[in-house]
Chain A
Amino acid sequence: MSLHPILVALRKHKAGVVLIALQIALTLAIVCNAVFIIYSRIEKVNRPTGINETNLLLVEQQWVSASNGDSAAGIQQFDSLLRNDLDTLTRLPDVESVAPINSIPLLNSSWTGGIALKPGPGLSDKNNVHTAYYFGDEHMVDTLGVHIVAGRNFTSAEINNKGMRDQSEPNLVIVTQDLAKKLFPKDSAVGKVVYLDGSNTPSTIIGIVERMQIPAVGWGDNFTWYSTLVPTRVNAIFSRYIVRTRPGRLDSVRRSIVPALYNANPMRVLDDDDAVRSFTDIRENAYRADVGMAVLMGVVCLILLAVTAAGIVGLTSFWVGQRHRQIGVRRALGARKIDILHYFQLENLMIAGGGAVIGIGLALGLNRWLMSSFEMQRMPLYYVLAGLVVVMVLGQLAVFVPARRASNVPPVVATRSV
Chain B
Amino acid sequence: MLAYYFDLALRSLKRNRALTALMVLAIALGIGASMTTLTVLHVLSGDPLPGRSGSIYYPQLDPQDMKDYTPGVEPPEQLTWTDGMYLLRAKRATRQALMTGGMVPLQSAQSSIDPFQAAALYTTADFFPMFGVPFKYGNGWGAGEDGSKARVVVITSDLNDKLFGGKNSIGQILRLKEAAFRIVGVLGDWHPNPHFYEWYMGSYASDEDVYLPLSASRDLLMEHDGSTECWGNSGGDQSHLETVNCTWLQFWVQLDSPARVAAYNDFLQHYSQDQHAMGRFMRPPNVRLRTMMQWLDHIKVVPSDTRLQTWLALGFLAVCLINTVGLMLAKFMRRAGELGVRRALGASQRALFGQLLMESGVIGIAGGLGGLLLALLGLWLVRQQPADYAKLAHMDITMLSATFVLAVGASLLAGLLPAWRACRIAPALQLKGN
Residues of A within 8 A of B (CB): 15-16, 19-20, 22-23, 26-27, 29-30, 34, 37, 62, 64-66, 68-70, 121, 123-124, 164-165, 167, 237, 269, 271, 285, 288-289, 292-293, 296-297, 300, 303-304, 307-308, 310-311, 314-315, 318-319, 321-322, 370, 374-375, 418
Contacts and interface: CB of A to CB of B under 8 A. Distances in A.
B33 interface: yes
A167 B316 contact: no
23 contacts: A16-B329, A19-B326, A20-B326, A23-B326, A27-B319, A34-B312, A37-B308, A70-B237, A70-B239, A124-B68, A269-B117, A289-B387, A293-B305, A293-B308, A300-B33, A300-B316, A304-B319, A307-B29, A308-B323, A311-B26, A311-B323, A314-B19, A374-B304
Contacts of A68: 221, 239
A126 to B, nearest CB: 14
B319 A318 contact: no
Find the residue from B107, B177, B316 having the highest chain A CB count within 10 A: B316
A26 B327 CA distance: 17
Contact of B322 (A26, A66, A285, A288): A26
A308 B387 CA distance: 32
A22 to B, nearest CB: 6
Given A15-B329, A16-B326, A293-B305, A30 B312 contact: yes
A345 to B, nearest CB: 19
Contact of A322 (B19, B334, B434): B334
Nearest to B385: A292
B428 interface: no
Contact of B326 (A293, A314, A321): A314
A121 B233 contact: yes
A285 B386 contact: yes
A23 B421 CA distance: 20
B201 to A, nearest CB: 14
Nearest to A34: B312
Contacts of B33: 300
Given A269-B115, A288-B386, A165 B319 contact: no
B325 interface: yes
Nearest to A311: B323
Contacts of B238: 69-70, 164-165
Contact of A30 (B107, B237, B305, B316): B316
Contact of A314 (B22, B316, B322, B333): B22
Given A22-B322, A30-B319, A314-B19, 14 more contacts: A30-B312, A34-B312, A65-B178, A66-B178, A69-B238, A289-B305, A293-B305, A293-B309, A307-B319, A310-B22, A311-B322, A314-B326, A322-B334, A374-B304
Q: Is the interface of A mostly helix, strand, loop or mixed?
A: helix
Contacts of B109: none
Contacts of B233: 121
B105 A64 contact: yes
B68 A296 contact: no
A27 B320 CA distance: 10
A315 B312 contact: no
B74 to A, nearest CB: 17
Contacts of B115: 64, 269
A379 to B, nearest CB: 14
A285 B385 CA distance: 11
A288 B22 CA distance: 34
Nearest to B23: A314
B318 interface: yes
A68 B238 CA distance: 10
Contacts of B178: 64-66
Nearest to A310: B22
B386 A310 contact: no
Interface string B225-249: 0000000010111110000000000
Contacts of B117: 62, 269, 271
A322 B233 CA distance: 82
Find the residue from B67, B308, B330, B421 having the highest chain A CB count within 10 A: B330
A271 B114 CA distance: 11
Contact of A23 (B221, B305, B322, B331): B322
A70 B326 contact: no
Contacts of A20: 326
A29 B323 CA distance: 16
A292 B309 CA distance: 11
